[in-house]
Amino acid sequence: MVKMVKIISSELVVPSEETPKSPIWLSNLDLTSFRIHFSTIYFYRLNKSTSADFFSVELLKSSLAKALVPYYPLAGRLGKDKNGRIEINCTGEGVLFVVAHCDVTLDDFDCFTPSIETRDLFVPTAPHPDKPCILLMLQVTFFKCGGLALGINVHHTIVDGRSSFNFLETWTSIARGENCSVKQPLLDRTLLRARVDRKIMFDHFEYIYDPKSVVPIGISTSNYTSSIFKISKRHINALKLCCCDTAKVHVSTFRAITALIWRCVCMARKLDTNSKSRLYTVVDMRSRMCPPLPPTYFGNATVRASVSAVVGDVISGPISNVAKMLHEGTNQGDEYIRSVIDYLETTDMNLPRRDVTPSDLRVTSWLGMSMYNVDFGMGQPILCAPAFMWSSGYVYLIDNPGKDAGMFVAVSLEQESMLRFKELLFDELANCGIA
């Protein structure tokens, strides 16, 4: 497959107009995001209504240049202020835009799974994320059938998932000629500045640096494999009913499916029932702050959260108990995020990426985000997913744009655990009353 992908061109695209040059201050949440690029990939299929200029390269570049005007920080580079604090130097140097051809059809690549090989095929990569590197890299790969893959690599210090999807939605709106629907980003990150009278009111375990858990960038200590599973809407609804307690309290899709995945992973890994397992996640705090941040806040507005439990409690008893634990562990509000920001002001914020231990799990939710609005005028993508998973124990929850409005679950596990996980996942769903 690698030999079948040929790079046609590679160039920097700069904003189409003059943009501000003042550096942008980064919040504590930006600085404690993993100092890496994160990779996503979109697949588009050629259909009968698609015109001959489907994904015109010139249209993509010109609309990208226009989108970089309001989102000009992406065209800059990381730098440091006089105190050595990392900031964005708004140099306007541009983003990388690569065009490639793949000598197979999209159907030949139909069984997509996230992997390093997939990332290297379809996503431009940076040699190192700490130098004054390019912050956004894109690759458009045309398949033999006329379908297309759009690979994206964006620096995590600059944006979180919602910010990235907002930019992509703006880019595609401009490509469709709908400039009036462009989302103007809020670039002022001082809204998340630490308070003068710092008040650390919670135990922020998730931000404690543990040297034993550090993994060099691009290297994993685990022999693992990744898979994507499709969960139907009726399975999700049945699972949510199973997760309700006797009072029939509403359970979110995130908490219901995460409770199920946590249980199945613990069983698939055959963990000692007396041992402990910790589930890590991140919580978008935009709507939870007082006053709330607008959805267009451009930066990292997520905080880390986790839930620890005895394995026996996760795998036995009502699954509603696991969902309840997740609710309690991910129900943070304004006081919590302010406490996180104040706490980070007192510690080393240059936290390297950490691996997930063999007993733990890291779940990231893209549910409800605008990833499927990345439509250049020829239809929404058939799939959006991470291009690869950093190590074993990573999970992504992704909306399914199909007719049944279900979801995809991208999972990375040890090879010996993956087959068992798949069996357990669908057995547990069947136990909710739907075969």
Going through 90-144 in order, the beta strands assigned E by DSSP cover 95-102, 136-143
Say what percent of the chain tops pLDDT 90. Answer: 60
Q: Which of 3-17, 31-45, 391-405 has the lowest mean pLDDT?
A: 391-405
Say what percent of the chain tops pLDDT 70. Answer: 88
Q: Which of 41-50, 59-68, 83-92, 130-139 has the lowest mean pLDDT?
A: 41-50
Q: Which token pair is 399?
A: 């909306």
Q: Which token pair is 402?
A: 């199909």
- Per-residue pLDDT at 221 exceeds 50: no
Q: What pLDDT is attached to residue 53? A: 57
Q: What pLDDT is attached to residue 352? A: 52
Contact predicate 220/391, CB 8 Å: yes
- Per-residue pLDDT at 216 exceeds 50: no
Give the position of tokens 């809020």.
Answer: 186
Q: What pLDDT is attached to residue 211? A: 56
Q: What pLDDT is attached to residue 382? A: 86
3-state SS assignment for residue 319: helix
- Per-residue pLDDT at 138 exceeds 80: yes
Q: Which of 105-114, 190-199, 412-421 has the lowest mean pLDDT?
A: 105-114
Q: What pLDDT is attached to residue 369? A: 87
Q: Which of 270-274, 331-335, 348-352 has the lowest mean pLDDT?
A: 348-352
3-state SS assignment for residue 289: coil
- Per-residue pLDDT at 246 exceeds 70: no
3-state SS assignment for residue 228: strand
Give the mean pLDDT of 31-51: 82
At residue 219 the predicted structure's pLDDT band, cuts being 50, 70 and 90, is very low
* 95-353-164-402 Cα dihedral, nearest 10 degrees: 120
Q: How far apart are CA 355 and CA 224, in angstroms?
A: 13
Smallest Cα–Cα separation from 182: which of 88, 64, 292?
Answer: 64
- Per-residue pLDDT at 101 exceeds 50: yes
- Considering the chain, what is the average pLDDT of its residues? 87
Q: Kindly report the backbone phi and psi dihedral angles of residue 412, in degrees, each rounded to the nearest multiple of 5, phi listed first.
A: -120, 130
Q: Which token pair is 34?
A: 């993993």
Q: What pLDDT is attached to residue 390? A: 83
At residue 376 the predicted structure's pLDDT band, cuts being 50, 70 and 90, is confident
- Per-residue pLDDT at 119 exceeds 50: yes
Going through 244-338 in order, the beta strands assigned E by DSSP cover 276-284, 302-310
Q: What pLDDT is attached to residue 276? A: 94
Q: Which token pair is 37?
A: 């690029």
Give the position of tokens 């590679």.
Answer: 10
Higher-confidence position of 355 and 415 = 415
Give the position of tokens 């231990």.
Answer: 357
Q: Active-site residues: which are they?
A: 156, 375
Higher-confidence position of 435 and 388 = 388
Going through 268-346 in order, the beta strands assigned E by DSSP cover 276-284, 302-310
Q: Which of 29-33, 130-134, 421-425 has the lowest mean pLDDT?
A: 130-134
Instruction: Provide the residue type at 223 as one letter.
Output: N
Give the mean pLDDT of 352-359: 70
Burial 397-426 (b: 16+ CB within 10 A, else e): bbbbbeeeebbbbbbbbbeebbebbbebbe
pTM to 2 decimals?
0.91
Higher-confidence position of 109 and 87 = 87
Q: What pLDDT is attached to residue 132? A: 81
- Per-residue pLDDT at 350 exceeds 70: no
Contact predicate 298/163, CB 8 Å: yes
Q: What pLDDT is attached to residue 263? A: 96
- Per-residue pLDDT at 188 exceeds 60: yes
**Concatenated DSSP letters of 168-228:** HHHHHHHHTT-GGG----B--GGGGPPPSS----S--GGG---GGGB--TT--SS-EEEEE
Q: How far apart are CA 269 and CA 360, in angstroms?
A: 10
Q: What pLDDT is attached to residue 20? A: 97
At residue 110 the predicted structure's pLDDT band, cuts being 50, 70 and 90, is low
Beta bridge partners of 86: 80
The pLDDT tens digits of the residues spanning 3-34 come to: 578 999 999 999 999 999 999 999 999 999 88
Q: How far apart are CA 356 and CA 115, in angstroms?
A: 17
Higher-confidence position of 104 and 247 = 104
At residue 220 the predicted structure's pLDDT band, cuts being 50, 70 and 90, is very low
Give the domains, in start order, of the chain with CATH numbers: 2-192 (3.30.559.10), 214-431 (3.30.559.10)
- Per-residue pLDDT at 54 exceeds 70: no
Give the mean pLDDT of 89-111: 87
Q: How far apart are CA 368 and CA 375, in angstroms?
A: 16
Report the range out of 2-11, 176-185, 385-394 with the highest average pLDDT.
385-394
- Per-residue pLDDT at 69 exceeds 60: yes
H or E segment and range at residue 89: strand 86-89
Q: What pLDDT is attached to residue 48? A: 64
